[in-house]
Chain A
Amino acid sequence: MCLGIPGQILEISDAVQKLAIVDIGGVRRPVNIACIVGEDEPVESCVGDWVLVHVGFAMNRIDPQEAQLTLELLEEMAAVHEEMAAT
């Protein structure tokens, strides 16, 4: 129920209703993007962004830099343990 699926915004289909076409695992679906576009922001600014889609709504952008930082930390941890195991 509370899970979401990552998807990438391909195009805006209805700027007034804030609807976009999002690629979710290779399937194009209409998604409401009201939660991720501020009032002063042009709706088109989010095309290309990765978002988390939940029950037909994009709930937040996925921050690629934060994802990278997390992965690097985990990488580091794995490397330290491999080294320790080798010695």
Chain B
Amino acid sequence: MKYVQEFRDPQKAQGLLQEITALGEQLTQSRPGPIKIMEVCGGHTHSIFKYGLESLLPKTVELVHGPGCPVCIMPKGRLDDAIALARHPEVILTTFGDVMRVPGSKQSLLQAKAEGADIRMVYSPLDALAIAQKNPDREVVFFAIGFETTAPSTALTVLQAESQGIQNFSLFCNHVLVVPALEALLSNPDLQLDGFIGPGHVSMVIGARPYQVIAERYRKPVTVSGFEPLDILQSLWMVLRQLAEGRCEVENQYTRLVQENGNTVALAAMAKVFTVREQFEWRGLGDIPASGFKMHPNYAHFDAEAKFTLPHRQVADHKACACGEILQGVKKPWECKVFGTGCTPEHPIGACMVSSEGACAAYYKYGRPQTVAEPVASRGK
């Protein structure tokens, strides 16, 4: 497929790896630990494991997996709300497939479906709208999740529902925003990060500019990256080069898709249909100010939270589950007590094991815990 195979060329990767190794050596000469770069997006985490990129990196450079998987950060209380919605006899609840197995406080959507709730998996919010058109006597709710990549498609679907006069369609809106989450992470003193590999497809929508605050206020370099192996290696090299040159800027590696100002149509649709919540609860990160979207008051007739009464409970995570620390990059998946034993992709306890983009699922599937970076000082150069 065009622009896919070309970015998987092993020969080109060799050149990048040598540059990364040289920069890693240079940067760790006067400090105790490895350079820690967080890849924010779950899509990057998945690619890093799929192509074994971690095992190619020198021990002076460590990738930290961030909270950028929308399934993983969905709190239990919101899942309970979705299940409560699905239990209304007139409701057909629709959502993406990877949400179905995420555990709520008592059960997942899949278990609720097995008990008779009408829950249907869709590939696009437009499929949910089509279900609404075919079932005029039912209320079709789309359980909308995702970062700014997914939010425009949901917003455009609402605008289409409006233009077609469809009344029996609404959103249970759980869209989240990436930059406030990064700011929340950076305020955690336990997490020592040197820079970020920024999410490519979120940035295709919002542009590269919104990360300026990370570079300027928090003094961390950011490189917006594509998802192929060479994209990720090149982005890592670009962040290291910034560190070596003492720069903190936002750079864009994914120029074939990401423009400085993002996608104006997508941004306009989001601005029309959504408004920013005062705060939104993230699994493992707690309440983060201005980090999620809710329906704009002008679109209250498409808002499932306005149409239905929901429990709105905050539910603590399972005691043994370390999803919170893993999402913050403070712990690695194998440091969780239940990783691979009590918690597996077939029987997940925490959300990081459910989604294929979650760090635990990636380690479980492709994992190489032996590649964990040792402290530079103990390596005996």
B-binding residues in A (CB < 8 A) = 1-4, 6, 8, 17, 25, 32, 34-36, 38, 50, 52, 54-57, 59-60, 62-64, 66-67, 69-71, 74-75, 77-82
Q: Which residues of chain B come closer than 8 Å to A4, judged between CB atoms?
A: 149, 201, 204
Contacts of B152 in A (CB 8 A): 35, 57, 59
Q: Shortest Cβ distance from B83 into chain A, in angstroms?
A: 20
A-chain residues with CB within 8 Å of residue B35 when the two chains form the complex: none
Q: Using Cβ atoms and an 8 Å threshold, which residues of chain B touch A69?
A: 255
Do the beta carbons of B204 and A52 come within 8 Å of each other? yes
Contact: B6 with A52, CB < 8 Å? no
The interface residues of chain A, by DSSP majority, are classed as mixed
Nearest A residue to B258, CB-CB: A60
Q: How many A-B contacts at CB < 8 Å in the complex?
A: 141
On chain B, the residues within 8 Å of A1 by CB distance are: 42-43, 69-71, 96, 98, 145-147, 149-150, 355, 357
Which residues does chain B contribute within 8 Å of A70, judged by CB atoms? 234, 253, 255-256
Contact residues, B50-82 vs A (CB, 8 A): 68-71
* Contact in complex: A74, B265 (CB < 8 Å): no
A-B residue pairs in contact (CB < 8 Å), sample of 30: A1-B98, A1-B145, A2-B68, A2-B70, A6-B3, A17-B160, A32-B153, A32-B156, A36-B265, A38-B265, A50-B2, A52-B204, A54-B153, A54-B201, A55-B150, A57-B124, A57-B156, A59-B149, A59-B205, A59-B263, A60-B259, A62-B256, A63-B256, A64-B256, A66-B256, A69-B255, A75-B12, A77-B12, A78-B14, A81-B18
**What's the tally of chain B residues with a CB closer than 8 Å to chain A?**
58
Known: A2-B150, A74-B234, A77-B12. A59 touches B266 (CB 8 A): yes
Assess whether A54 is in contact with B150, with CB atoms less than 8 Å apart.
yes
Residues of B within 8 A of A81 (CB): 14-15, 18-19
Chain B contacts to A: CB under 8 angstroms: 1-4, 6-7, 9, 11-12, 14-16, 18-19, 41-43, 46, 68-71, 96, 98, 123-127, 145-147, 149-150, 152-153, 156, 160, 199, 201-202, 204-205, 227, 230, 234, 253, 255-259, 263, 265-266, 269, 355, 357
Q: Which of B19, B199, B255 has the most CB of A within 10 A?
A: B255
